[in-house]
Amino acid sequence: MPTEQISIRTLDGNCPACVMTPGGTGPWPAVIFYGDAGGIRPAMLEMAARLADAGYVVLLPDLFYRYGPYGPLVPREVFKGDVGAILGPLMATTGTAKASEDTAAFLAYLDTRKDIAGSKTGATGFCMGGGLAIAAAANYPRRFAAVASFHGGNLATDAPDSPHLLVPGVAAELYIASADKDDSYPAPMAARLEDALTKSGVRYRAELYAGALHGWMVPDFPVYDPDAADRGWAAMQALFDRTLRA
Whole-angstrom CA distances from 21 to 31, 53, 60 are: 10, 8, 11
| Number of helical (H) and strand (E) elements in the chain, helices listed first | 8, 8
Task: Calculate ∠ Cα 103-63-157, nearest 5°.
Answer: 80
Amino acid identity for residue 6 in this structure: I
DSSP state of 225: -
What CATH architecture does domain 3-244 belong to? Answer: 3-Layer(aba) Sandwich (3.40)
pLDDT of residue 80: 82
Query: Over the stretch 27-43, which tens digit does the pLDDT of each residue have?
Result: 999 999 999 999 999 99
Residues 132-148, mean pLDDT to the nearest whole number:
97
Amino acid identity for residue 26 in this structure: G
Contact status, residue 120 vs residue 244, Cβ threshold 8 Å? yes
- What is the DSSP pairing of strand 13-20 with strand 173-181? unpaired
Q: What ranges in the chain are assigned the alpha helix state H?
A: 42-53, 75-78, 83-91, 96-112, 128-139, 163-166, 187-199, 226-244
pLDDT of residue 126: 98
pLDDT interval class at 26 (50, 70, 90): confident
Give the domain ranges of the chain.
3-244
pLDDT of residue 69: 93
Query: Over the stretch 56-78, which tens digit does the pLDDT of each residue have?
Result: 999 999 999 999 998 888 888 88
